[in-house]
């Protein structure tokens, strides 16, 4: 079984701020992490590999520094990693990103056919949740989104059963391989890799692919050229001017506290008191 896991290196959004004057995102000095959702999909892929045999290949499209994120995936136990990096990919929106990733996966499949692709549900920086479905559509794969758990994969029958979270509850879905899964958070816990895997990661040379290596001959669908999305404006929502108010009371019992609360509300809105009284 060959599984490809797509990961994205993202700025640690807990530490990111929007510049108050220029309204641009201040990325400088913000540490990068692997998109948290992608770790759940990597762990799910590793579990399937451990169960059924085969291999896990991790890919990302991004700048050179994304090598660190890929090496980290090796240290968790992934077998191979490929960095898709090329100037022509700069400025990709979700359309161009999924085109580039789909081409790469197709190319990888020429050597070892791909049975499954894993993506995170969404990223914590772009937040669109469009890339996974975009890849599935292009590769004519079945797609299962918002997956909380992969229940079973039957390689002989070429079948997969998953639990998908939906608004009303949990759907148990079955479909055919090859398929693409996007994983929800909290579905599993990333393993603590072995010393062998740490050694392998420290010595691993990540393969770097440009557009040609990924089998892309025409670059019109890549990068800025292939990205119809335009960012018109970025802004930080202004802090709310209204401050919370503390209502002071000497009272201790629930009755006294409730009374103090009502008194203060009615003091502000005398009409309300009148209306209730009528």
Partner 1 sequence: MAEKFDAIVIGAGPSGNAAALVMARAGMKVLQLERGEYPGSKNVQGAILYAEALEQIIPNCRRQAPLERPIIEQRMWVLDDESYVGSNYRGTKKKDEPPTRYTVIRANIDRWMSKKATDAGVLLICEATVLDLIKLDGKVVGVRTDRLGGDILAEVVVLADGVNSLIATKAGLRPTIKAADVALAVKEMHFLPKEVIEQRFNIANDEGVVIELFGKITKGMMGTGFLYTNRESIALGIGCMADDFKKGGVTPYDLLDAMKAHPAIKPLIAGSEVKEYAAHLIPEGGYKAIPQVHGDGWVIVGDSGGFVNAVHREGSNLAMTSGRLAAETILKLKEEGKPFTAQHLARYRAALEDSFVMKDLKKYRNMPEIFHANPQFFTTYPELLNRAAATILKVDGIDKKTKEKEIAGEFVKRRSRLGLLGDAIKLVRSFR
Ligand X SMILES: Cc1cc2nc3c(=O)[nH]c(=O)nc-3n(C[C@H](O)[C@H](O)[C@H](O)COP(=O)(O)OP(=O)(O)OC[C@H]3O[C@@H](n4cnc5c(N)ncnc54)[C@H](O)[C@@H]3O)c2cc1C
Q: Is the dihedral of CA 2, 73, 118, 219 positive or negative?
A: negative
65 is a contact residue toward partner 1 (CB under 8 A): no
205 is a contact residue toward partner 1 (CB under 8 A): no
Residue 60: name its binding partner from ligand X, partner 1, none (Cβ under 5 to 8 Å by kind). Answer: ligand X
| Binding flags for partner 1, 66-105, as an x/- string (CB under 8 A) | ---------x------------------------------
C-beta of residue 211 within 8 angstroms of C-beta of residue 222: yes
Residue 268: name its binding partner from partner 1, ligand X, none (Cβ under 5 to 8 Å by kind). Answer: none
Closest separation in Å from C-beta 70 to partner 1: 15
Q: Is the dihedral of CA 253, 254, 259, 260 positive or negative?
A: positive
Closest separation in Å from C-beta 150 to partner 1: 24
The beta strands (E) that lie in the chain are given as 2-6, 9-11, 17-18, 25-26, 32-34, 55-61, 80-84, 116-120, 142-154, 159-165, 170-176, 179-183, 207-209
In the three-class reduction of DSSP (H, G, I as helix; E, B as strand; rest coil), residue 73 is classed as helix
198 is a contact residue toward partner 1 (CB under 8 A): yes
123 is a contact residue toward ligand X (CB under 6 A): yes
86 is a contact residue toward ligand X (CB under 6 A): no
C-beta of residue 78 within 8 angstroms of C-beta of residue 190: no
Query: Which tokens belong to 213?
Result: 């290596």
Q: What is the dihedral of CA 80, 85, 88, 92, to 10 degrees?
A: 80
The residue number with the shortest CB distance to ligand X is 126
Task: Name the β-bridge partners of 10.
Answer: 33
Helix 67-76 / helix 36-52 crossing angle, nearest 10 deg: 40
Closest separation in Å from C-beta 194 to partner 1: 4
Question: Given candidates 13, 75, 130, 219, which one binds ligand X under the rule CB under 6 A?
Answer: 130
Question: Given candidates 186, 199, 210, 259, which one binds partner 1 under the rule CB under 8 A?
Answer: 199
- Residues 49-68, interacting with ligand X (CB under 6 A): 60-62
Contact segment (CB under 8 A) with partner 1 among 44-52, 195-203, 213-221, 222-230 equals: 195-203
Strand-pair category, 142-154 with 159-165: antiparallel
Residue 194: name its binding partner from ligand X, partner 1, none (Cβ under 5 to 8 Å by kind). Answer: partner 1
- Residue ranges in contact with ligand X by CB under 6 A: 6-8, 35, 37-38, 60-62, 91-94, 97, 101, 119-120, 122-123, 125-132, 231
């Amino acid at each position: 079984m060959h599984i490809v896991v797509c990961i994205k290196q993202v700025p640690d959004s807990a530490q990111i701020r929007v510049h108050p004057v220029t309204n641009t995102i201040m990325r400088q000095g913000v540490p990068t992490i692997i998109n948290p959702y992608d770790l759940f999909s990597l762990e799910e892929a590793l579990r399937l590999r451990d169960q059924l045999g085969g291999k896990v290949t991790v890919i990302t499209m991004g700048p050179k520094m994304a090598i660190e994120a890929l090496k980290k995936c090796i240290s968790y136990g992934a077998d191979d990693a490929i960095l898709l990096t090329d100037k022509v990919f700069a400025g990709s929106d979700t359309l161009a990103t999924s085109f580039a990733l789909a081409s790469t996966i197709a190319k990888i499949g020429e050597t070892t056919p791909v049975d499954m692709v894993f993506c995170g549900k969404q990223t914590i920086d772009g937040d669109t949740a469009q890339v996974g479905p975009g890849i599935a559509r292009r590769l004519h794969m079945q797609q299962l989104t918002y997956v909380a758990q992969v229940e079973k994969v039957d390689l002989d029958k070429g079948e997969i059963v998953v639990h998908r979270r939906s608004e009303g509850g949990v759907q148990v879905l079955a479909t055919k391989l090859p398929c693409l899964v996007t994983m929800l958070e909290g579905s599993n816990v990333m393993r603590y890799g072995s010393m062998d895997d740490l050694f392998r990661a420290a010595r691993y040379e990540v393969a770097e692919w440009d557009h040609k290596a990924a089998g892309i001959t025409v670059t019109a669908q890549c990068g800025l050229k292939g990205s119809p999305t335009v960012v018109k404006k970025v802004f930080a929502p202004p802090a709310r001017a209204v401050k919370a108010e503390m209502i002071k009371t000497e009272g201790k019992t629930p009755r006294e506290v409730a009374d103090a609360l009502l008194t203060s509300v009615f003091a502000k809105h005398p009409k309300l008191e009148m209306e209730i009284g009528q």
